[in-house]
Amino acid sequence: MPGVSYALENAIHQWTDGERRVRDAEPLEAADLERAVELVGDELRRRLGSSFEIAELVSLYGSGTDWAEDIASHHWAGTDTAAVVDCAFGRYTRGATDYAGGRQRRGGEE
């Protein structure tokens, strides 16, 4: 499905950028950012569980991330909540059953 592929590529691009922005944060800010990323990740785990596919994560992301931005802003006083949310989604992707080191694993691929 072309639409799914585009949504996946777009989401991965955003998530990668969020991870970069968190990684490149000033040292004083980094600890707060990392804590907020962990909290959003905890909520992702609650919403999706530990067994999920990338498409489910993309769908959740596409349906809106206001809930995740609320968590990030509540636990971190900064203004770049989007980077926190994107980073959390990007990191959570690595736990998908069809994750293959930065690309989606197709059926039967190991």
Distance of CA 93 to the CA centre of its chain: 7
Q: What is the pLDDT of residues 68-98, one digit of tens each?
A: 999 999 887 577 899 999 999 999 999 999 9
Where do the structural domains in the chain lie, given as residue ranges?
2-93
Tell me which residue of 16, 1, 92, 109 sits closest to 49, measured CA to CA.
Answer: 92
| Predicted confidence band of residue 3 (pLDDT cuts 50, 70, 90) | low
pTM reported for the whole predicted model = 0.85
DSSP assignment, residue 105?
P
Percent of the chain with pLDDT over 90: 68
CB 85, CB 68: distance < 8 Å = yes
